[in-house]
Amino acid sequence: MAKQVTLYESDQITPAETPHNEGSIRDGEASTPRRVWAKNTSTAGETLEACRWAIEALGANDGDDYLQIAPDLAGSPGTWTTDPIVIGDMAVNDLAAVWMRYNIPAGSTQVGNPRLAYVTFEEA
């Protein structure tokens, strides 16, 4: 059986929408932070090894330049970054959360909105 991870919204029940469309965000503003969970749903007891959250570009648009992720610190976002967040190994049914938001710098053009990108959960 293959290893498997399932992404959920904050309620840990609803499957996460990927990519998530925040719509048109004004320049100089950020979207409302959103928490997403990954759960190891492997059916044969496989551990996911060296896991991490990362940002992946979607097409030729520049959404990955503006998407930020943060580790979950007791239900609140930690420090925002565009770098991968290392989680480590995950046993079956373990959960790992990440926060995401789009942060559009002042002076950005509205051309190209919505700027989409994926937040991915990867195993090394």
Total domains in the chain come to 1
> Residue 78 and residue 90: Cα distance in Å, rounded?
20
- Supply the range of the domain harboring residue 23: 5-123
Interstrand relation of 95-102 and 67-73 (parallel, antiparallel or unpaired):
antiparallel
Quick: pLDDT tens for 100-117. 888 877 777 666 566 667
The pLDDT score that the predictor gives to residue 63 is 66
pLDDT at 119: 82
pLDDT at 118: 77
Segments of the chain with pLDDT less than 50: none
The CATH number given to whatever domain includes residue 104 is 2.60.40
Give the pLDDT confidence score for residue 14 in this predicted structure. 86
